[in-house]
């Protein structure tokens, strides 16, 4: 089970040069517990206006011990409350679709799409459930994370995993918000290993509350539906 979690996080949710420092190294004002709760309330309220979201993403995977950086590009489409499509288009092609409790995975191999077994669907749903919660501005989950925040140019929220299935592999998640506190700009994922490898995901070209065709989240036995560029 831990291996499945690690592979899923690495493949699907693992910002290009948004920041070069972890929250602990950033200059800024740490929020008190009262300030933190007040601003989290504000964020959740601001995010309630987002019914659908289309955002492009650029992912930078850094492995310091090998002096290696892997960059990939794709997009994310979200519809409240629990529909999500994560797709990478460069340098590989893969699709993960979540529609309620249903998970579908595709990968492009040898010139054709292949539908894969989602493996442990309950684990995938737990992970994607975190993503959909973040896209709705809901960062508080005392059973899963210890939460803190720093106010610098914008606001950075840090989540330290408590749950064993995350804690074993992930040291922290850092979520950067825009100035209006109504959208995510980036996520930084720091792995819990000696190399302290980390991943940055930058979100850009957001389109909010656009009509999302049903085909975006449709399960197919052949190929995933095509998404027009925006």
CATH topology of domain 2-204: outer membrane lipoprotein receptor (LolB), chain A (2.50.20)
What is the C-alpha to C-alpha distance for residues 136 and 43, in angstroms, rounded to an integer? Answer: 9
Report in angstroms the alpha-carbon separations of 46 from 20, 124, 184, 188.
28, 27, 12, 22
Comparison of pLDDT for 77 and 20, the residue scoring more:
77
Query: Could you read off the pLDDT of 114-164 as tens digits, one per residue?
Result: 998 866 667 778 778 888 999 999 999 988 899 999 998 889 999 999 988
32 contacts 77 by C-beta, under 8 angstroms: no
198 contacts 188 by C-beta, under 8 angstroms: yes
Domain locations in the chain?
2-204
| pTM (predicted TM-score) | 0.83
86 contacts 73 by C-beta, under 8 angstroms: no
- State whether the Cα torsion 158-198-200-151 is positive or negative: positive
Contacts of 146 (CB under 8 A, 6+ apart): 159, 160, 162
């Amino acid at each position: 089970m831990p291996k499945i979690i690690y592979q899923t996080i690495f493949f699907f949710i693992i910002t290009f040069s948004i920041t070069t420092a972890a929250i602990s190294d950033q200059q800024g004002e740490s929020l008190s517990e009262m300030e933190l709760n007040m601003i989290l309330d504000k964020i959740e309220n601001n995010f309630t206006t987002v019914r659908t979201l289309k955002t492009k993403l650029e992912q930078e995977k850094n492995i310091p011990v090998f002096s290696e950086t892997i960059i990939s590009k794709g997009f994310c489409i979200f519809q409240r409350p629990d529909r999500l499509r994560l797709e990478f288009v460069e340098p590989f092609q893969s699709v993960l679709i979540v529609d309620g409790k249903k998970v579908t995975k595709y990968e492009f191999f040898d010139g054709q799409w292949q539908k894969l077994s989602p493996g442990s669907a309950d684990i995938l749903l737990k992970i994607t459930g975190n993503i959909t919660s973040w896209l709705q501005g809901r960062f508080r989950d005392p059973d899963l994370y210890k939460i803190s925040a720093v106010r610098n140019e914008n606001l950075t929220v840090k989540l330290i995993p408590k749950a064993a299935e995350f804690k074993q592999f992930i040291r922290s998640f850092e979520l950067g918000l825009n100035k209006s506190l109504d959208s995510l700009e980036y996520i930084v994922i720091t792995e819990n290993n000696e190399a302290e490898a980390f991943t940055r995901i930058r979100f850009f070209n957001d389109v909010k509350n656009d009509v999302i065709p049903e085909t975006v989240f449709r399960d197919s036995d052949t190929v995933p539906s095509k998404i027009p560029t925006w």
